[in-house]
């Protein structure tokens, strides 16, 4: 699992965030599923990520993450003991 944290000043580096993320995803991913983190608490965000992963999504963009949400996802990412999430890429965009 690869987790990428993108700071809120991403516009300076890549004016088109969807294009930036899409270019980094494997060709098999297809469209870029996205989640708006401000709709969830940290635990809820982890639950929706688990649902998305169970559906087979392997590239996920999470917009407007709080510091607590980023930390929760990073910790969740270290718990993959069986390697089932090896091909998963998550892009977390931090909010100001």
Q: What is the count of structural domains for the chain?
A: 1
The string of pLDDT tens digits covering residues 30-58 is 566 889 999 999 999 999 999 999 898 88
**Where residue 92 falls among pLDDT bands split at 50, 70, 90?**
very high
Is there a contact between 32 and 21 (Cβ–Cβ < 8 Å)? yes
Is there a contact between 59 and 26 (Cβ–Cβ < 8 Å)? yes
Q: Which domain holds residue 39?
A: 2-94
More confident position, 10 or 68: 68
Q: Which two tokens stand for residue 34?
A: 């996205």
> pTM for this one?
0.79
**Where residue 22 falls among pLDDT bands split at 50, 70, 90?**
low
């Amino acid at each position: 699992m690869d987790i990428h944290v993108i700071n809120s000043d991403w516009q300076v580096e890549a004016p088109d965030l969807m294009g930036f993320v899409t270019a980094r995803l494997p060709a098999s991913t297809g469209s870029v599923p996205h989640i708006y983190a401000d709709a969830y608490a940290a635990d809820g965000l982890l639950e929706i990520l688990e649902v998305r992963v169970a559906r087979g999504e392997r590239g996920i963009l999470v917009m407007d993450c709080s510091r607590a949400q980023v930390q929760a996802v990073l910790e969740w990412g270290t718990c993959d003991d069986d390697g089932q999430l090896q091909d998963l890429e998550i892009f977390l965009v931090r909010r100001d």
